[in-house]
Amino acid sequence: MTPPASRADCEACDARDPLARIRDEFLIKPGVIYLDGNSLGALTRDSVARTRTMLEEQWGPDLISSWNVHGWFDLPHRLGAKIAPLIGAAADEVLVADSTSVNLFKLASAAMMTRGARHRILTESGNFPTDIYVLQGLAALSGGAIEIITVPRSEVAARIDDATFLVVLTHVHYKTAELFDLQAITERAHAQGARILWDLSHSVGALAVDIGAAQAEFAVGCTYKYLNGGPGSPAFLYVRRDLQDAIRPGLAAWMGHAAPFDFTDDYDPAPGMARYRSGTPSLLAFAALDGALGIWDHIDLRDVRRKSEVLSELFIARVEALPGSGLVLASPREAARRGSHVALTHPRGYELMQALIARGVIGDFRAPDIVRFGFAPLYLRYIDVWEAVTILGEVLAGPLDHAEIGRSAVT
């Protein structure tokens, strides 16, 4: 689809947008153009309602009996089943629990304990730092038995070898939005006898992912970006069904026990995905996520992806038409190779972003010089993107404001 060429075209696109009705499900402050949904999604009305229900109608009157009366104990599985179709997995292959970092450790440690004679984990240099830090910590715990190899993106496929037991990659790069070919890299890992773990944090809810068709072993991801679960909302993990009972997480805890309320001294892993649970979940955060996930019941991810591509193409075309802006595209130019955010470099990127935020256009900054703009199709309109670039041009035409408004801190 060709991006709209005028303000009137944008209004026409919004009028016929199949996702337009979804915007009313979000609580977005008037006058704000929110282009940071790739860091933290917007609040849904149903998240507010579900949280209030848990507080006032469950925890309040029913106290601890709520675990059984209201099915709290099964929420990690029920929410995992809601996320599963968004990543091409079966309902019993996804669990909501803990954070992305903790889940990555669970799965990487499980792979380490079943690695045989192999001793290497391969990841991309420049991957989101916490993923690398978790792997480095695992290597330290191994006492030198395993090593972590980081290589440039262009070398990843070629560097998977017979010493590699696990490949850990982020599907959409957190800075540049560049996409890995998930199917091709997974096939390459399998051809070399390695397993693969995908971080889908910048993918889920923004583009179609078919982790099941690729036959990847593992995946993790957060729910506070395009899934709109809220700040610090629980993450998810995926384990291919045939592996679930064959491995056990390195982080073994009481809720992952086969009989958690027997309180025995020895760990006996629960069957299936239940063994990947750890401690008591934060149920209020689960309630907010439950509300946010309800939006996806009647949404076609193909509509989401199409709109994302057109929104970002509109943004890039208008930015490139700004005279002497100093902005340089840092994301792939081809929409098919890009996730749902666009990265630009600017020598005074931090000041530029603060000035935009002061004008109600909220994106974020990544050191040393990247400004990022996210396109969350469920609540972002074409006219929003048109107006955002108009304001961007006005900001660039004047002196940049040095006011410290506070940079975005979450990826």
Residues labelled as active-site residues: 128, 199, 224-225, 372
3-state secondary structure of 176: coil
Evaluate whether 43 touches 378 at the Cβ level (below 8 Å). Answer: no
Q: How far apart (Å, rounded) are the C-alpha atoms in residues 199 and 170?
A: 4
Name the residue with tokens 């982790």.
211
Q: Work out the angle at residue 83's Cα, subtended by the Cα atoms of residues 77 and 84, and round it to the nearest 5 degrees.
A: 85
Q: How far apart (Å, rounded) are the C-alpha atoms in residues 165 and 142?
A: 14
Integer-rounded Cα Rg, in Å, for the chain is: 22
At 168, phi and psi to the nearest 5? -120, 115
- Structure tokens, 30: 């008037």
Which amino acid type is present at position 319?
Answer: V
Q: In degrees to the nearest 10, what's the CA dihedral of 96, 88, 202, 16? A: -120
Q: How far apart (Å, rounded) are the C-alpha atoms in residues 10 and 406?
A: 31
Whether residue 30 has a cis bond before it, omega within 30° of 0: no
- Structure tokens, 346: 């600017």
